[in-house]
Amino acid sequence: MTRTNHRDAGVPRRAALLGLGGALLAAPAVRAQGRFPDKPVRLLVPWAAGGTTDIQLRALGDQAARRLGQPIIVENKPGAGGVLAAQQLLQEKPDGYVVAQMPISVFRHPQMASRALFNPLEDFTYVIHLTGYLFGIVVKADAPWQTLGQFLDYAKANPGKVNYGSPGNGSGPHIAVELLKSLAGIDVVHVPYKGAGPALTGLLGGEVGMTVVAAAAGAPHVQSGKVKALAVLSNERAANLPGVPTSKEAGVDAWQVALWWGILAPAGTPKEIVGRLNAAWVKTAALPETIEKMKAAGFEPMSGTPEQLNAFINSETARWAKVIKDANIVMVE
């Protein structure tokens, strides 16, 4: 597929109603005159409408719109782990009026795809490191392992006998377990599913012995006693799983993995416009109500400058490139 850049050709602006996949987020009537923005900003979201991530982004967008003085129009562009939304962003003018929420999976795309559709380190301008959520390793409630150490001891003694589920080839949980395999010297067998929900269902049904899930998604099952959480893959314990040790506390020092999102704009977006967008999101992220709502939903609010996001993305890209190469992970297209 050949990438075509249509930034210089106007792209029709479309704002769907909430029930049709988009929402017009409220902003005050007072507008900043003579400077960006003087019309609504479109926010491309690579997830289906109505999901947890979509709902959180709409709430954040509402607050950011108040600070911009213009509405933010959410447009859902689900599919391919964010790749479809990234392709859409590539076609937009670099004027700040179209931005996108992008997950880490977009930055792994060139490392796993047989034909890279874009270079995320060059084709986008970074606005802000917005948020992320923690992962946890879970096993079935009746599994014989009570700790991560016990699980690793069993896996070492029984190579190839433990299956683990993931939301799909190249997903965050997939490469998280591949990293654990290299760190701990174990051999467990990957079973890809079509999403995080089916992978968790596979664990509950005994099809696999272990999986890595978002702490927010796994917490209700841990609290109900259906699964056991052996560790959260972070340097800090999860607020909704306070009794579960971190990976370091559980004995694996370098096993920190989180799914994160950033707000991106097309490459070439003027610095002053990026600064205006960044300021609106920074103020939103600092609101006590934002922090409370995000943490309650299992998300970790983040913030920072475009330069900090740039440095973080480059570091994460290099880190996962080695894991992907060593494990020979190829995206199924």
Model confidence pLDDT, tens digit, residues 122-136: 999 999 998 887 899
Task: Say yes or no: 114 and 148 in one domain.
Answer: no
Task: Say yes or no: 299 and 216 in one domain.
Answer: no
The verdict on residue 314 lying in a domain is: yes
Residue (of 299, 300, 104) closest to 217 by Cα position: 299
- In this prediction, residue 24 has a pLDDT band, given cuts at 50, 70 and 90, of very low
**Who has greater pLDDT, 50 or 184?**
184
Task: Say yes or no: 65 and 200 in one domain.
Answer: no
**Who has greater pLDDT, 185 or 319?**
185
Greatest CA separation found in the chain?
68
Which pLDDT does position 16 carry in this prediction?
A: 36
Share of the chain above pLDDT 90, in %: 50
The predicted model gives 105-116 an average pLDDT of: 81
Task: Say yes or no: 118 and 141 in one domain.
Answer: no
Which pLDDT does position 189 carry in this prediction?
A: 97
Which pLDDT does position 279 carry in this prediction?
A: 96
Whether pTM > 0.85 for this model: the answer is no
Across all residues in the chain, what is the average pLDDT? Answer: 85
Q: Please write the tens of the pLDDT for every residue from 245-304.
A: 999 999 998 898 877 889 999 999 999 999 999 999 999 989 998 888 887 777 777 889
What's the per-residue H, E or C state across 169-201?
A: CCCHHHHHHHHHHHHHCCCCEEEECCCHHHHHH
H-state helical runs in the chain: 52-68, 83-90, 104-112, 148-157, 172-184, 196-204, 215-224, 271-286, 288-296, 306-327
Task: Say yes or no: 155 and 201 in one domain.
Answer: yes
User: Which residues, including other chains, have CB under 8 Å from residue 219's CB and lie 6 or more apart?
Assistant: 238, 240, 241, 298
Which pLDDT does position 332 carry in this prediction?
A: 58
Task: Say yes or no: 271 and 128 in one domain.
Answer: yes
CA distance 142 to 145: 9
Task: Say yes or no: 112 and 157 in one domain.
Answer: no
Task: Say yes or no: 191 and 153 in one domain.
Answer: yes
5 pLDDT higher than 70: no
CA distance 31 to 140: 54
The predicted model gives 55-84 an average pLDDT of: 87
- In this prediction, residue 115 has a pLDDT band, given cuts at 50, 70 and 90, of confident
Residue (of 320, 322, 275, 252) closest to 105 by Cα position: 320
| Domain of 225, in residue numbers | 134-232
